[in-house]
Amino acid sequence: MAIAAHRWLMTGVGAPLVRAEFDAAPEAPGDVTVEIAGCGVCHTDLGYYYDGVRTNHPLPLALGHEIAGRVIAAGPGAGAGSWLGKAVVVPSVMPCGECALCKRGRPMICRKQRMPGNDIHGGFASHVVVPSRGLCAVDEGRLAKAGLELAELSVIADAVTTPYQAATRAGVWPGSLAIVVGIGGVGGYAAQVAKAMGATVVAVDVDDAKLAAMGKVASLALNARAHDQKALRAAVQAFAKEKNLPQTEWFVFECSGTAAGQATAFGLLTHGATLSVVGFTMDRVEIRLSNLMAFDARAIGNWGCPPELYPGALDLVLDRKIELKPFVEKHPLQRINDVFAAAHRHELSRRAVLVPA
């Protein structure tokens, strides 16, 4: 049975996104159709659209990989039918689950992975067809109790789960010190994740308003424009000493997605530190790589989040240990071109979630 749907297509770098009709009925075994409640606008989407970052699927392509909605149809086999009617968060990166990499515990480098808005059509649409494997079911009773809407959960699919994976892989522990560089967007959630895991959080940004918004999360807020690298490091060291926090093994999360932020984060390495790279930029950074050796430190890249970690991140949201509502704002999907432009001009103070009419 055909499912009438529409999506907004990127046809070229910077070209207006255009609406197109399509049939959203699932055909492949194990695939489902999700009626979209909301799709978040991510820095990565802007990279594809404005900076010409290459997508794996040729244009035209519907972008959008932060998706929440309800399963309304299922393809044949693979247990897809068991998802019918369920509210779900769609993982932003969906490994195949069958290859040697997946079975060896490295699903995020699965060569058969599918990412909406990159490998397949994404969530800036009324509906999306995705694999049922890895979907994260939402308890709608808990959702209502938390005072949240399904559309708002869309940002879990990247903005929350990517730093959640980063903190999990890094091994953040109660009593540790976590420094988040770039506190807007994904960085704000990184700070909340680290605090929920028991770390004391230091927030670093160049925007005083963003730093102020983290007042209940970060124990120390530092504006990088007011400190050179040496002074910034000294301020963190002094804070750690005053609060009897570790002087070594800091967890540094680079979430700004800027060259300046990456240089700042690398400059905060100390003995036994872990640098988790969460943000993305096409710019190059000049660093002294030997610092990793000298400090016996490590740097970890973080691409998405394994689907099996999604329920843990969702629990933190539904338990209100991670707040979503103050950091998201909903916009009609039909205003996608205006919202993209506003996000690109840094005019939005919250993460935009596009909601189909």
Query: Is 78's pLDDT higher than 70?
Result: no
Query: Is 262's pLDDT higher than 80?
Result: yes
- How large is the average pLDDT for residues 150-156? 98
Q: What percent of the chain has pLDDT over 70?
A: 100
| DSSP percent split of the chain into helix, strand, coil, nearest 5 | 35, 25, 45
How many degrees, rounded to 5, is the angle at CA 177 between CA 212 and CA 40? 50
Contact 188, 221 (CB under 8 A): no
SS3 355: strand
- Where does 161-301 sit in CATH, by number? 3.40.50.720
The crossing angle, in degrees rounded to 10, of helices 229-242 and 259-267 is: 50
For the chain, state the CA radius of gyration.
Answer: 20
Strands, E assignment, 57-142: 66-74, 87-90, 127-131, 136-137
What single-letter amino acid sits at 187?
G
70 Cβ neighbours under 8 A, 6+ residues apart: 34, 35, 37, 85, 86, 87, 88, 150
Contact 357, 333 (CB under 8 A): yes
103 Cβ neighbours under 8 A, 6+ residues apart: none
Q: Mean pLDDT score of the chain, rounded to an integer?
A: 96
pLDDT class of 282 with cuts at 50, 70, 90: confident
Query: Is 304's pLDDT higher than 70?
Result: yes
The reported pLDDT for the residue numbered 93 is: 96
In angstroms, how far is CA 119 from the centroid of its own chain?
17
The reported pLDDT for the residue numbered 184 is: 86
Least confident segment among 13-17, 114-118, 281-285? 281-285
- How large is the average pLDDT for residues 246-259? 97
Helix (H) or strand (E) holding 316: helix 310-318
- How large is the average pLDDT for residues 36-43? 96
Query: Is 79's pLDDT higher than 90?
Result: no
pLDDT tens for 313-334 read 999 999 999 999 999 999 999 9
Helix (H) or strand (E) holding 57: none
Q: Which residue has the higher pLDDT, 174 or 357?
A: 174
| Dist. CA 57–CA 64, nearest whole Å | 13
| Dist. CA 8–CA 356, nearest whole Å | 11
Residue 61, beta-bridge partner list = 10
Position of tokens 């002087």?
Answer: 247
pTM summary value: 0.95
Query: Is 187's pLDDT higher than 90?
Result: yes
SS3 214: coil
pLDDT class of 349 with cuts at 50, 70, 90: confident
| Dist. CA 354–CA 357, nearest whole Å | 10
Q: What percent of the chain has pLDDT over 90?
A: 94
The reported pLDDT for the residue numbered 25 is: 96
- Where does 4-158+305-355 sit in CATH, by number? 3.90.180.10
| Dist. CA 290–CA 311, nearest whole Å | 38
pLDDT class of 344 with cuts at 50, 70, 90: very high
The reported pLDDT for the residue numbered 70 is: 98
Contact 166, 324 (CB under 8 A): no
Show me where the domains of the chain are located: 4-158+305-355, 161-301
94 Cβ neighbours under 8 A, 6+ residues apart: 113, 114, 115, 130, 131, 133, 134, 307
Query: Is 1's pLDDT higher than 90?
Result: no
Query: Is 77's pLDDT higher than 80?
Result: no
The reported pLDDT for the residue numbered 171 is: 98
Strands, E assignment, 182-261: 200-205, 220-223, 251-254
